[in-house]
Amino acid sequence: MTELVAKDITVDAGSATLVRDASLTLSPGELVAILGPNGAGKTSLLRAALGLLDTSGGTATLAGKDVATMPAAERARLVSYLPQRRPLAWPNTVRDIVALGRFAHGAALGKLGPQDAAAVASAISACDLEALAERNADTLSGGEIARVHFARALAASAPLLVADEPTAALDPLHQLGIAELLRRFVDAGGGALVVLHDIALAARFADRLLWMRHGQVVAAGPPAETLTRERIRDVYGVHAHVATDAHGFDVRIEAAQ
Amino acid sequence: MTPRVLTVLLLTASAGALLAACFLGSTPLGGARVIAALLGQGTAGDGIVLWEIRLPRALTAFVVGAALGTSGAALQGLLRNPLADPGVLGVTATSSLTATFALYYGLAATSAFLLPVYAIAGALAATALLAAAAIRIRSVVTLILLGVGLSSFSAAAMSLLLNLAPNPFTLSDMMNWLLGSVANRSLADLQFALPFMLVGLAILFANRRGLSALTLGEEAASGVGLDLRRQRIAIVLGAGLATGASVALAGAIGFVGIVAPHIVRPIVDHDPARSLWPSALLAGLILVLADIGVRLMPTATELKLGVVAALIGAPAFIWIAVMRRVTYD
């Protein structure tokens, strides 16, 4: 089984410590959401766990192998990564951007093999992008671009997916759309680790929540166990109303502390 | 137009232009005499005009263009900016500075290999500096400004060398590098520079797939499995070798490395990897045609190819900068 295991990760940047002794695991079949305020070290922890950032302590393994020494292409075939900043240098077509997800499989744009083409087509259809497939990226809306990036991550056909704020700058409907795509990926046997800022959305879709503050993981567990009024106050510094209803969790931020 | 049709079209046009370059020139030579000389059956004089003047000159223009076009397309892919090119980034200026230095101190006279070696060393140093800066500087505008600074510094150092030139012959030799020309090149000159150029081009072509991945940004590119460090080193090395070899052959010729990829890009769906081949062919074609123009123009002294390239290319550069399509940056 492909498992991502990060143990006691510490990341320093100059004199500042971005992440301190943080651990996480991600297995197929689960959706893990990382919650925490800006600057809590969520992105740094993700990058360190993927071997994209130098650590000053701790280990990260993917399928039992150290990520730091794993070739980039091998890692990419096991876990696809959707970073927070997703700049596109050129106005490529949607199909080509999605096809870049097949890079680690040796795919070259414009001459995809049958396997690559099939993976790209299925990712495009999963994200409902068929109608936009031949459009240039600079003609798309923010919500459409977010779906294109998500499809790119899916096209890798990797068992694991790590996404850093995939719903950033999206309206509620599109946030829900991305969350549903994540859920579908997980229900089909994938494992997803996602940074989210919408607590209610995370509680509704995730199997486990990982709460971070000041570079440390302060709590981890299913929403029912870790999502409390006190936790939100401690982690985010705001007063909130938390209730459970038939649809899941109702979280309402009431006032700053 | 599909990329395949474009490549076939450019190949045909390039072959046609090279052939045309053999037929045209200041010495009137009839078509039959050119063909005879090409087949090695003409008079000795016709043979010299064709094999030692016209053909080397046209071939030099073509390979120099191809090297600059490919380097431009590859640097644009690496730096994710359509304005990147060996000329704008100061790579050709630095390269011609070191080449001039070799000429000035008579180093080039000791071995014919030294000129390309010096030119390439300058190009590599400039490209490596830019790539190292590109890792630290996130803003592409700052990077271009750095290139402009590098360019200005090399120009200043070049002026210093011109100022110190011991005699008019050295001065005119240096001016040639400054202005860029393919006149009076021999097949032997080509022979010395070509191996470096071919190795550089081979490195660029072998690593072109990584340029597509860089479309996503560096972080996502390494996320999809690109070894960023290796990719950077490969493109710097390839572009440095190809540009340096082109400077050793023809001096500083600017802008063709920007213009050719820019024209090609929409036809290859804006994919940097697929833009390499057509950019090489188109840039080669442009320089062969420009050089034919230079030779046919009835001016008292022949215009330098680099001057003509800049006269056409600089306005094109401004146009591209102004019309740049804004993407999600």
> For B193-237, how does the pLDDT look when each residue is reduced to its tens digit (9 = 90+)?
899 999 999 999 999 999 999 999 889 999 999 998 889 889 988
Enumerate the residues of chain B whose CB falls inside 8 A of the CB of residue A74: 225
CA distance A42 to A52: 14
The whole-number pLDDT of residue B323 equals: 76
The residue of chain B nearest to residue A150, with distances taken between CA atoms, is: B220
ipTM of the complex model:
0.90
CA distance B260 to B312: 12
Kindly report the average pLDDT of chain B as a whole number: 87
List the one residue out of A149, A153, A162, A150 whose CA is nearest residue A191: A162
Enumerate the residues of chain A whose CB falls inside 8 A of the CB of residue B320: none
Enumerate the residues of chain B whose CB falls inside 8 A of the CB of residue A89: 80-81, 214-217, 327, 329
The whole-number pLDDT of residue B88 equals: 82
For chain A, give me the number of helices (H) and strands (E)? 9, 12
pLDDT value at B17 more than 80: yes
Kindly report the average pLDDT of chain A as a whole number: 92
Instruction: Give chain A's contact residues with B (Cβ, < 8 Å).
Output: 50, 52, 71-77, 80-83, 85-93, 96-97, 100-101, 103-104, 108-110, 136-138, 145, 152, 156
Name which of A74, A100, A193 to mutate to probe chain B: the one with the most chain B Cβ atoms within 10 A of its Cβ: A100
Q: A186 CB contacts (<8 Å, ≥6 apart)?
A: A29, A30, A31, A192, A207
With contact defined as beta carbons under 8 Å apart, do A154 and A127 qualify?
A: yes
Name which of A46, A109, A161, A165 to mutate to probe chain B: the one with the most chain B Cβ atoms within 10 A of its Cβ: A109
Q: What is the percent of chain A where pLDDT is above 70? A: 99
pLDDT tens for each residue of A213-238: 999 999 999 998 899 889 999 999 88
Assign A77 a pLDDT band (cuts: 50, 70, 90): very high
Q: B135 or B16: which carries more pLDDT confidence?
A: B16
Cα B285–Cα A92–Cα B233 angle in degrees, nearest 5:
70
- Taking an 8 Å cut-off on Cβ atoms, the answer to whether A85 and B326 are in contact is no
Backbone torsion region of residue A39, taken as left when φ is above 0, otherwise alpha when ψ lies between -120 and 50, otherwise beta: left
Enumerate the residues of chain A whose CB falls inside 8 A of the CB of residue B220: 81-83, 86
The residue of chain B nearest to residue A103, with distances taken between CA atoms, is: B224
The whole-number pLDDT of residue B329 equals: 41
Cα A161–Cα B135–Cα B264 angle in degrees, nearest 5:
80
SS3 at position A243: strand
Q: B139 CB contacts (<8 Å, ≥6 apart)?
A: none
pLDDT value at B3 more than 80: yes
Distances (CA, A) of B165 to A74, B79, B159, B170: 57, 37, 10, 6
With contact defined as beta carbons under 8 Å apart, do B223 and A81 qualify?
A: yes
Sheet containing A160-164, strands listed edge to edge, beginning at the edge strand earlier in sequence: A79-82, A160-164, A191-195, A31-35, A208-213, A216-221
- Taking an 8 Å cut-off on Cβ atoms, the answer to whether B227 and A71 are in contact is yes
Least confident window among A46-50, A117-121, B107-111: B107-111
User: From the list B222, B273, B328, which residue is nearest A109 (CB)?
Assistant: B273
Q: Which residue has the tokens 């830019």?
A: B130
Distances (CA, A) of B147 to A141, A170, B86, B143: 34, 37, 9, 6
pLDDT tens for each residue of B42-81: 788 888 888 888 899 999 999 999 999 999 999 999 988 8
SS3 at position A237: coil
Assign B140 a pLDDT band (cuts: 50, 70, 90): low
The residue of chain A nearest to residue B262, with distances taken between CA atoms, is: A90
Give pairs for B5-14: CB < 8 Å, separation 24+.
Answer: B6/B264, B6/B267, B6/B268, B6/B278, B7/B277, B7/B278, B7/B281, B10/B278, B10/B281, B10/B282, B10/B285, B11/B281, B13/B285, B14/B62, B14/B281, B14/B284, B14/B285, B14/B288
Assign B186 a pLDDT band (cuts: 50, 70, 90): confident
Enumerate the residues of chain A whose CB falls inside 8 A of the CB of residue B80: 87, 89-90
Taking residues B174-190, what's their average pLDDT? 83
pLDDT value at B41 more than 90: no
Least confident window among A56-65, B27-36, B152-161: B27-36
DSSP letters, B282-320, are HHHHHHHHHHHHHHHS--SSPPPHHHHHHHHHHHHHHHH
pLDDT value at B328 more than 60: no
pTM of the model: 0.90
The whole-number pLDDT of residue B327 equals: 45
Q: A51 CB contacts (<8 Å, ≥6 apart)?
A: A60, A62, A66, A67, A68, A70, A75
User: From the list A72, A83, A108, which residue is nearest B273 (CB)?
Assistant: A108
List the one residue out of A97, A98, A115 whose CA is nearest residue A106: A115
pLDDT tens for each residue of A160-215: 999 999 998 888 888 898 999 999 999 999 999 999 999 999 999 999 999 999 99
Assign B325 a pLDDT band (cuts: 50, 70, 90): low
With contact defined as beta carbons under 8 Å apart, do B295 and B26 qualify?
A: yes
Q: Which residue has the tokens 């290319």?
A: B313
The residue of chain B nearest to residue A137, with distances taken between CA atoms, is: B327
User: From the list A80, A109, A145, which residue is nearest B212 (CB)?
Assistant: A109
Domains in chain B, ordered, with CATH? 3-324 (1.10.3470.10)
Taking residues B234-245, what's their average pLDDT? 92
The residue of chain A nearest to residue B230, with distances taken between CA atoms, is: A72
- Taking an 8 Å cut-off on Cβ atoms, the answer to whether B209 and A108 are in contact is yes
pLDDT tens for each residue of B79-105: 888 888 888 888 999 998 998 888 777
Tokens of B24: 């045209």
CA distance A45 to A193: 11
Instruction: Count other Cβ atoms within 10 Å, centred on residue A180.
Output: 11
